[in-house]
Amino acid sequence: LNIDDILTGGEPALASNQAPAKPSATPSRVLPPTAVVAAPTRLNSGFVWPVEGRVVKRFGAGASGERNDGIKIAVPIGTPIKATADGVVAYVGDGIPALGGLVIVKHGDRWTSVYGHASKLLVQRGQAVKRGQTLALSGQTGFADKPEVHFELRRGRTPVDPLSQLPRR
């Protein structure tokens, strides 16, 4: 399982007589895996930083040839990870071992954000979230060797350097 699978193959097909599930305002409603989540059609705002911390790994190819589809931000364990923009939670879980606790949010205009290495997940699939709302708490899960947040932005299936979309600090 990888992020591409979740973004494109992880959504069940809609039956001809079925409507997608409307986003929920709270994490109390848990959607079954067979429910299709209604994603926003438009991105309502620009992106904000998911956490305040130091970027310790940048987007793109690393020195040893590995590819990073996002950025890694060093933060203390338990730091609130916030939604970068309004959207609907498309995935919550730990199905990608390298990323540990993981939240994926669809924002509209084909934009998706990815938050990995969380120690505690605070939202549910199908939940509507607002920019700046806490999604999870940071951790050292998956293949993280120190407390950090893995953060990605994607347009469709294509990873985009988050630093090109986030406000400069």
Q: Domain spans of the chain? A: 3-164
Tell me what pLDDT residue 56 has: 95
Give the number of other Cβ atoms within 10 Å of residue 12's Cβ. 14
Tell me what pLDDT residue 14 has: 47
Tell me what pLDDT residue 44 has: 80
In sequence order, the β-bridge partners of residue 116 are: 150
Tell me what pLDDT residue 18 has: 56
Contact between residue 49 and residue 141 where contact means Cβ atoms under 8 Å apart: no
Tell me what pLDDT residue 12 has: 52
DSSP string for 62-74: -TTS-EESSEEEE
Q: Which pair of tokens denotes residue 115?
A: 């938050």
In sequence order, the β-bridge partners of residue 139 are: 148
Nearest CA to 12 out of 148, 125, 150 is that of: 125
CATH architecture classification, 3-164: Distorted Sandwich (2.70)
Q: Write out residues in the chain with pLDDT < 70, as ranges.
A: 1, 8-26, 28-30, 32-34
Amino acid at 96: I
Round to whole Å and give the CA distance between 147 and 72. Answer: 10
pTM of the model: 0.87
Round to whole Å and give the CA distance between 80 and 43. Answer: 23
